[in-house]
C-alpha cells in the first residue's frame, strides 16, 4: 500500500483540541439530514415512489448512524483522557453517567419544546418518543462500565458489544415484549419510527471501539489508520451484502430494513469509508481553509434542534406535502444556507466572536458600568 504524504498536520483545528475530520464527518451527516428531512416533510405524496424521494431517504438513512458513531468516539476520548489524568474506573463511569444524564435531559427538553410549539396540535404521547438523543443517552449509560478496561482493550470489547447488539436485534423483535409498557418498550424493541437501543445502540459501541483506536494511534499514523479503516469498510460492505443475499437466515423473522445485522454492518462499512474520506479531505484538500461542512459539524446539535422545529413544526405548514422534487431541492438549499448562517452566528467568523459571546461581552460591560466607584 502506498503511504500518504505526511503534509501539514491539519488533524486538529487551529487553537482547538477538536479533530477536524470528525467535525467534517459530522457536518456531512448534517447536510444529508437537512435535505432528507426537507424532502420527507414537503414532497407531494404522489411523488414518493419516484427516484428523487427514494434516493433522498435512502442516503438519509445513514445520518443517524453517523451521529451515534461519533457519540461513541467522543465517549472513547473521554474515557481515555480521564484515565490518563489518573481518574479511577469508578470516577470515569460516574462521569459517563453524567454525560448520559445530560443527553437525556436534552432529549426531554427537545421533545417538550416540539410539543409546546405545536400549540395543541401534537398528542402528548409524542413527548415520550425515543429520538436519537434518547438513544445516545441510554447507549452511553449502558457502555459506561467499559471504563474498567484499558483503552486498548476497549477496541476489542467495544466492537464485540456492537456485534452483540446488532445480532440480538432480530431476537428482541421476535420476542416483542408486548407486556411491557409502550413508553419503556420503545427504548429497546426495533421500531422503524424510533431509535431503540436494538439495533441503533450498536453504532455507539462501534464508535467506542473506533475512538479507542484513534486514542492509541499517534497523529502521525492517522493516515495509515484511515487506509485500513477504508479497506475494512469495503470488506464489511461486500461481506455483509453477500450474507444478506443468502437464501436462508439464522432468524425466522429477519427484516432487512428494520433490524438486520447485515444492514448494520453495511452502514458501519459506509461509516469507515466516510470517516476516511473526511480525513483525506481535511488533511490534503482543505487543511487550513474554512469549510461550511466542518462549520455545520461544530454546531450539529443546534442545527439539528432548530431545523427540526423549522421543517416539522408549523412554520412552513403551507408547503407541507405539496412540493415537487425541484421545489424541495431549492427549499433544502435555503434551509442549508440558513443553518450555515445560524452556525456562524453561534461560533463567530474568522476570529470574530459569535452572537452569544458578543451578548456576554455586552452584559459584562453593562455590569461593570453599573458598579459605583
Rg of the chain's alpha carbons, rounded to an integer? 22
Q: Worst-scoring range by mean pLDDT, 262-266, 306-310, 349-353?
A: 349-353
pLDDT for 239-261, tens place per residue?
Answer: 999 999 998 888 988 899 999 99
Residue 7 CA to its chain's centroid (Å) = 29
Q: Worst-scoring range by mean pLDDT, 22-31, 161-170, 204-213, 355-364?
A: 355-364
pLDDT at 367: 67
Query: What's the rounded Cα separation, in Å, for the pair 189 and 181?
Result: 12
Q: How many CA atoms lie within 13 A of 266 on its CB side?
A: 17
Phi, psi torsion values for 272, nearest 5 degrees? -60, -40
Decide: helix, strand or coil at residue 219.
Answer: helix
pLDDT for 213-242, tens place per residue?
Answer: 999 999 889 999 999 999 999 999 999 999
pLDDT at 3: 39
pLDDT at 371: 53
pLDDT at 13: 53
Average pLDDT over residues 277-297: 92
pLDDT at 254: 84
Query: What's the rounded Cα separation, in Å, for the pair 327 and 319?
Result: 10
Average pLDDT over residues 183-187: 97
pLDDT at 2: 35
Query: What's the rounded Cα separation, in Å, for the pair 12 and 370?
Result: 41
Cell numbers for 304, please give them: 439539528
Average pLDDT over residues 205-213: 99
Burial of 134 (0-12, 13-18, 19+ CB in 10 A): buried
Query: What's the rounded Cα separation, in Å, for the pair 59 and 39?
Result: 12
Decide: helix, strand or coil at residue 16.
Answer: coil
Residue in the block written with cell 431476537:
171
pLDDT for 45-101, tens place per residue?
Answer: 999 999 999 999 999 999 999 999 999 999 999 999 999 999 999 999 999 999 999
pLDDT at 289: 79
Nearest 5°: the CA angle 78, 152, 64 is 55
Q: What DSSP character marks residue 249?
A: -
Residue 301 CA to its chain's centroid (Å) = 9
Does residue 257 contact residue 263 with C-beta atoms inside 8 Å?
Answer: yes
Q: Residue 9's pLDDT band (boundaries 50, 70, 90)?
A: very low
Question: Of the candidates 150, 177, 176, 146, which has an alpha carbon nearest to the alpha carbon of residue 162?
Answer: 146
Per-residue pLDDT at 372 exceeds 70: no
pLDDT for 290-348, tens place per residue?
Answer: 899 999 999 999 999 999 999 999 999 999 999 999 999 999 999 999 999 999 999 98
Decide: helix, strand or coil at residue 330.
Answer: helix
Q: Residue 17's pLDDT band (boundaries 50, 70, 90)?
A: very low
Average pLDDT over residues 95-116: 97
pLDDT for 132-153, tens place per residue?
Answer: 999 999 999 999 999 999 999 9
Decide: helix, strand or coil at residue 349.
Answer: strand
Where are the alpha helices (H) located in 217-324, listed in sequence order?
222-244, 256-259, 261-280, 292-298, 300-312
Does residue 42 contact residue 325 with C-beta atoms inside 8 Å?
Answer: no
Query: What's the rounded Cα separation, in Å, for the pair 279 and 256?
Result: 30
pLDDT at 357: 74
Q: Residue 190's pLDDT band (boundaries 50, 70, 90)?
A: very high
**Cβ-Cβ contacts under 8 Å for 144 (sequence gap 6 or more):** 92, 93, 96, 97, 100
pLDDT at 356: 77
pLDDT at 6: 43
**Cβ-Cβ contacts under 8 Å for 89 (sequence gap 6 or more):** 147, 148
Amino acid at each position: 500500500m502506498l503511504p500518504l504524504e505526511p503534509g501539514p498536520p491539519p488533524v486538529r483545528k487551529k487553537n482547538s483540541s477538536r479533530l477536524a475530520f470528525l467535525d467534517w464527518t459530522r457536518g456531512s451527516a448534517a447536510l444529508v439530514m437537512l435535505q432528507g428531512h426537507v424532502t420527507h416533510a414537503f414532497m407531494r405524496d404522489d411523488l414518493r415512489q419516484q427516484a428523487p424521494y427514494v434516493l433522498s431517504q435512502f442516503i438519509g438513512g445513514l445520518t443517524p448512524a453517523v451521529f451515534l458513531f461519533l457519540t461513541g468516539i467522543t465517549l472513547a476520548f473521554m474515557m481515555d483522557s480521564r484515565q490518563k489524568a489518573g481518574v479511577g474506573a469508578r470516577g470515569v463511569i460516574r462521569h459517563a453517567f453524567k454525560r448520559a444524564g445530560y443527553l437525556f435531559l436534552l432529549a426531554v427538553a427537545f421533545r417538550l419544546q416540539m410539543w409546546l410549539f405545536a400549540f395543541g396540535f401534537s398528542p402528548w404521547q409524542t413527548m415520550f418518543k425515543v429520538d436519537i438523543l434518547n438513544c445516545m443517552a441510554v447507549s452511553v449509560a449502558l457502555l459506561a462500565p467499559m471504563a474498567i478496561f484499558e483503552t486498548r482493550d476497549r477496541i476489542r470489547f467495544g466492537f464485540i458489544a456492537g456485534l452483540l447488539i446488532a445480532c440480538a436485534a432480530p431476537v428482541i423483535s421476535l420476542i416483542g415484549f408486548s407486556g411491557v409498557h409502550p413508553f419503556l418498550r420503545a427504548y429497546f424493541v426495533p421500531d422503524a419510527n424510533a431509535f431503540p437501543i436494538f439495533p441503533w445502540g450498536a453504532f455507539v459501541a462501534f464508535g467506542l471501539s473506533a475512538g479507542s483506536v484513534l486514542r492509541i494511534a499517534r497523529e502521525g499514523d492517522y493516515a495509515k489508520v484511515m487506509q485500513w479503516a477504508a479497506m475494512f469498510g469495503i470488506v464489511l460492505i461486500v461481506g455483509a451484502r453477500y450474507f444478506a443475499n443468502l437464501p436462508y437466515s439464522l432468524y425466522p423473522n429477519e427484516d432487512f430494513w428494520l433490524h438486520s445485522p447485515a444492514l448494520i454492518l453495511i452502514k458501519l462499512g459506509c461509516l469507515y469509508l466516510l470517516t476516511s474520506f473526511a480525513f483525506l479531505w481535511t488533511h490534503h484538500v482543505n487543511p487550513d481553509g474554512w469549510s461550511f461542512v466542518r462549520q455545520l459539524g461544530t454546531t450539529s446539535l443546534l442545527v439539528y434542534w432548530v431545523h427540526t422545529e423549522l421543517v416539522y413544526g408549523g412554520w412552513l405548514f403551507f408547503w407541507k406535502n405539496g412540493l415537487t422534487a425541484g421545489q424541495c431541492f431549492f427549499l433544502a438549499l435555503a434551509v442549508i444556507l440558513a443553518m450555515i448562517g445560524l452556525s456562524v452566528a453561534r461560533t463567530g467568523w474568522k476570529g470574530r466572536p459569535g452572537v452569544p459571546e458578543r451578548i456576554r461581552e455586552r452584559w459584562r460591560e453593562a455590569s461593570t458600568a453599573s458598579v459605583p466607584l
